Structure 1
């Protein structure tokens, strides 16, 4: 269940209320005349099943409500309402499977912002990976992988392609490139300092590392794992049900590969740089492709569901008309 709050000029309120009241996915509608001060207008609230949110948002956007007002969507975690239950029952699709595109797109913009927090987590995760490689610690490696924030920007690439948001595409690509470059440079500097102090030697990087050797030896399984992780990650982001994003972070070796590239640069180890760089590209490419394909399939599925729901609504309106109006 979602709670929708709309701020709109008074001349649009009656049309919006009519739209909401006619939609079987909406269970409660409240109108507050003149309640909005900035901008001047009315406030309309409604409870709506997740499965029916996209069509309502699309109509509101076509009316231009977002230009001179606002449309807010918030998840209602707990609700007790027979009318709400009926709205959820008669709306095609499952609530947990429903993809609310406005919500997904907003999340993609937030996750792909190149800010101080994103940069800090990228650097900290990559430095931790470098330490994990030096001491060959799989536990520390997993911790660093979970700390990495890059998947949100990777998923944003798929959202940008599917929803044709090319500004978002440039933003996500810039964030990924900037984040990894910054993390590798910072980790390389930290490694050079450790090397100067005598804490790390080239042998620590090149000797046998059974628990972390996969970082610089990409193969067919690297790409397959990236594909699976990309699908699982996107499903976790688009579903109302809690997913397994932590599992996705642990599955792919983007941050570990970046850390090993930094170690290779610090010690001039060409094979480490090339192997890890290829591993990084394979994982990013695999996740991006899988995310795009998953979102494309979801878009087609929900487009079919929306068409079916539109036919149902049209049939219900027709059946509810008085005989003289038919």
Structure 2
């Protein structure tokens, strides 16, 4: 279940209470008249079944609560309440299949911002990938995959496109368009310093039989893996099964391809650099297309295909 808190003008509080009382998925409703200080008004709280959250939030947004006050949602790990159990049983659908769309937009929006933290993680991931390529270490490559933060903007781009949130789509696209070139440039600088210091030479990537050659080898499986990973990642983000995201991070070669491109460029292997960049592009496009398709199917299944999400 989720804990819902609505801060609203006192004049709107009766309608908020009525909305919660009438919905079978809400339980343990609490009203604090005059408790809100800024903005002044009432506070209404309730435990809400996950599969009922979207309908209730839409109803509260129709009362303009998201503009005149606030609507907040928090995940509840444990609820000991017969009324809460009854609300979960009465709410239509299954909790694990329910999508809290406003929460999804908020989550992907936060993870899609181009900021110092995002750039730092992406750069460190690319540097780790470069080390894995130079030392022919698949384990280090996997570590780089896990560290990479790129799935956040990719998911944000898919959500922005499907939910008609141009602000989110532009923010995510900017993070990807600026983040990867910056990370590749820093990685190339690091590779140049390492090469100048004699830590490695062209033999690190030349020839055949390297365990990490899969990073730059482009083929049908590149797109297949990207599509499957994008679908799994979006299913994970839109359900309660977030643990699957780790597997998504490990399955795609976005960050390793960026790291390989930087190393190959420094060593003058333009063919492998081009293949690595193609691998990067195929993975990015495949993930976004698959994630967007999953979202379209889930919105169509919920009858929300024509409803743009409100802006926070």
TM-score, with length taken from structure 2: 0.95
Distance 2:168 2:213 in 1: 35
1:148-177: CA deviations, max 9, x gaps? Answer: 010111111111111100111110010011
Aligned to 1:167: 167
CA contact (8 A) 1:136 1:209 kept: no
* Structure-to-structure mapping, 1:74-223, within 5 angstroms: 74-223=74-223
Q: Which runs of 5+ in 2 are unaligned?
A: 305-312
Aligned to 1:262: 262
Aligned to 2:310: none
CA contact (8 A) 1:237 1:243 kept: no
Deviation at 1:241, TM superposition (A): 2.7
1:9-33: CA deviations, max 9, x gaps? Answer: 1000011101110111111211100
Deviation at 1:209, TM superposition (A): 4.3
TM-score, with length taken from structure 1: 0.91
Distance 1:181 1:214 in 2: 21
When the two structures are aligned, how many residues end up with a matched partner?
Answer: 304
Distance 1:253 1:209 in 2: 19
Aligned to 2:307: none
Aligned to 2:20: 20
Aligned to 1:51: 51
Distance 2:195 2:210 in 1: 23
Distance 1:130 1:199 in 2: 13
1:35-66: CA deviations, max 9, x gaps? Answer: 01111000000111111111111121122111
Deviation at 1:205, TM superposition (A): 2.0
Deviation at 1:263, TM superposition (A): 0.8
Aligned to 2:63: 63
Distance 2:249 2:72 in 1: 30
Which protein is richer in helix relative to its size? 1
> Equivalent residue of 2:303, what SS?
helix
Runs of 4+ in 1 over 2 A off after TM superposition: 207-210
